[in-house]
Amino acid sequence: MKTWSELPEVLSIAGLSQAYRDGALTPTALVEMLWQRLESAPARGVWISRLSLAQMQAYAEALAEQSPDDLPLYGIPFAIKDNIDLADLPTTAACPAYAYQPKQSAFEVRQLIAAGAIPVGKTNLDQFATGLVGTRSPYGACRNSFDPAYIAGGSSSGSAVAVATGLASFALGTDTAGSGRVPAAFNNLVGVKPTRGLLSTSGVVPACRSLDCVSIFALTAADAERVLRVANVYDAEDAYNRPDQPLPVPPGFASRFRFGVPKPEQLQFFGDHAAEALFADAIERLVEQGGSAVEVDIQPLLDAAGLLYAGPWLAERYLVAGELLRTTPEALFPVTLGILANGANLSAADAWRAFYRLQELKRQSDALWSQIDVLVTPTTGTIYPIAAVEAEPLELNSRLGYYTNFMNLLDLSAIALPAGFRANGLPFGITLCAPAFADRALLALAKRRAQSAPHTLGVSQILSAEFPEADSDDASGFVRVAVCGAHLSGLPLNPLLTGRGGVLLQSTHTAPSYRLYALPDGKRPGMVRAEPGAAIAVEVWALPIGRYGEFVAEIPPPLGIGSVQLQDGTSVQGFVCEAAAVREALDITDYGGWRAYLARPD
């Protein structure tokens, strides 16, 4: 029996659950290793507050008499958006002047803890859940997990980045206008926006109480489904909670379905040609998976989206923070203040005018579902650097809501899914949506899509996959590739991996039988198997076989690809160097790796 000595790069629910069942991991050991990771993780603006090690250990120790077979979320760490109550920590909604100490955890948090989940902390958000960017917080901008110069998406930014960077297995967010879907797309996650009212909002700071949903971020659709099953408990104390009325999943739905695609003139990518190409590819994949594409007119949906930041729903937002706005306006983030102030002067006539218009648009949009089973859109048309959003906060935020703002107004269910990577390494995502209570059908389709389109899988699915060799005839698999130089995360050549759908599996070391040399050009290292040797720091990436050949073709001499033995005894493909090339090179083995060598003092 092998006991885990370190955590994998990401924490899939399925993977942790299997480790618990195998006896290779305990909740207490998980907490201790996770704490070390939390303490050393790069600052990306993820957390507003975190539990102490002792508090997390108490949750783990409470599971000592339980079994992973009895509790569906046994020992699974999760993060909580800081507009959702956790009794151990204050709730701030990203506004220190608003903060309060809850007497008990939110209804959904209690369900998850009762199922064995271990809370980690409260995550950063756009203040009062007003925004889709993740930069509108006095606790700092939350940074994208793939490129910290880019936005993480909001308002549930911290929750998404916590999962994407291996600090939690899943996270709770909220979704009023897209906050559970946009961050999922920007961080290569699955984001479930359930039917409005399916999950309780008791213990949730409202944004628009009549529209708010508690959302779920996870690495895979299967993981998200497990969390949704636990969370889907009727709460009679929540006036907006609705008993589940699941629509039946048609026989064979996951293999034969009709999906709507917006008319070409209604698709907006805001100049992002890479996103446009990835959406076209996603449509092709859905057809290959048994779908029939149907072009549909989504203008009623777009018109409904235009109502969200007008009329009664903006006044709803004002209800939450209006007192602060009147008495302590400096407590609000400047952009948030400007948006909420517009809700102060709306009349009842304005509200009814909007209600009438929405009802008309809902009647028109309902006609779509006689033509299709699901609607497929980009989750967003593009993504922006943090600097661009700070320079133009309202317009760029509005663009991000183009495909998301209408869904809760029109009472739709939705799931955001990863759909590949741009050449610059940033992920792209699509969203499937359907009428209320179609949540199970959407999850069934998402799981089917993940199984039949492995090049778009989340990281944890890749971790549990079988990896064929590089000469396999199966062009849908992955090759594990160890990199030790400029292809490492954050270094100049890393986009050659991420741009081909590569996914980081782990940071590890080679077996102690290699030497590392700085080649004369000063730009790259050469790794040679030698005795005596040392363990060299490497990253192991999963690269789709269909893109592996072109990746290898770009490797200049004296480097090449060969077999590299890792510290756990396994072998993967990896960068090696011709021995003759290192005769005049600088031996940098003692640095332990290329990053350490680059970071050496002058």
- So which residues are the catalytic ones? 81, 155, 179
Element (H, E) at 502: none
Residues counted in the chain: 602
| List of E strands, 473-578 | 478-483, 503-509, 514-518, 525-529, 537-544, 559-565, 571-577
The C-alpha angle 334, 337, 338, rounded to 5 degrees, equals 90
First CA to last CA across the chain, in angstroms? 46
Quote the strand ranges of 347-406, DSSP E.
374-378
**Exposure class string for 92-118: b at 16+ Cβ within 10 A, else e:** bbbbeebeeebeebbbbbbbbbebbbb
CB 215 within 8 A of CB 185: no
Residue 448's CB is within 10 A of a number of other CB atoms, namely 18
Find residue 467's DSSP bridge partners. none
Alpha carbon distance 496, 522 (integer Å): 20
Q: Which residues of 540-557 are buried (b: 16+ CB within 10 A; e: fewer)?
A: bbbbbbebbeebeeeeee
3-state secondary structure of 579: helix
Q: How far is CA 74 from the centre of its chain?
A: 22
CB-facing half-sphere around the CA of 436: CA atoms within 13 A: 17
Pairing of the two strands 571-577 and 503-509: unpaired
Residue with tokens 């991420």: 498
Cis preceding linkage at 8, omega within 30? no
